[in-house]
């Protein structure tokens, strides 16, 4: 059952210099060069960007959705990480 599947790649596009590359989608390609070419054709036909990153999908490790609560909940009760937690008189001005 040794079927050779064409690998899956995740595509990231920078819309212009100064901004982060953002994930836009994925595609299948045999290697990195082909993935970059396909990404250009699939995702930048209307000047969506000036830079492309492709990453093999299998190389991306994702957090476990079933553990989202225990992963992210600890930040929920830490209001003291926000500026509005501190009592500064209004007439001190912007701080």
Partner 1 sequence: MYSQGLIGSGSENEESEAFLARFQARIDAEEKIEPNDAMPLAYRKTLIRQIGQHAHSEIVGMLPEGNWITRAPTLRRKMALLAKVQDEGGHGLYLYSAAETLGVSREEMTEELLSGRAKYSSIFNYPTPTWADIGMIGWLVDGAAIMNQVPLCRCSFGPYARAMVRVCREESFHQRQGYEIVMTLAEGTDEQKEMAQDSLNRWWWPALMMFGPHDADSSNSDQSMLWKIKRFTNDELRQKFVDATVPQAEKIGLKIPDPDLKWNPEKNDGAGGYDFGALDWDEFWRVVKGGGPMNRDRIAARKAAWENGRWVREAALAHAAKREERAATAKVAAE
Radius of gyration of the chain (CA): 21
Please report whether residue 40 would count as binding partner 1 according to CB under 8 A: no
Question: Is residue 86 at the binding interface for partner 1, with CB under 8 A as the rule?
Answer: yes
Establish if 5 lies at the interface with partner 1 (CB under 8 A). no
In angstroms, how far is the first alpha carbon of the chain from the final one? 65
Q: Does 18 bind partner 1 (CB under 8 A)?
A: yes
Starting at the edge strand found earlier in the chain, the sheet holding 8-14 runs 22-28, 8-14, 51-56
- Which residues bind to partner 1, rule: CB under 8 A? 14, 16-20, 51, 53, 78, 80-83, 85-89, 91-93, 95
């Amino acid at each position: 059952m040794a079927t050779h599947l064409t690998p899956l790649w995740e595509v990231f596009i920078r819309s212009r210099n100064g901004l982060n590359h953002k994930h836009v989608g994925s595609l299948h390609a045999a290697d990195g060069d082909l993935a970059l070419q396909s990404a250009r054709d699939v995702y930048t036909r209307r000047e969506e960007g000036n830079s492309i990153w492709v990453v093999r999908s299998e190389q991306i490790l994702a957090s476990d959705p079933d553990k989202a609560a225990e992963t992210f909940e600890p930040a929920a009760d830490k209001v003291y990480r926000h500026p509005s937690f501190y009592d500064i008189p209004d007439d001190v001005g912007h701080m």
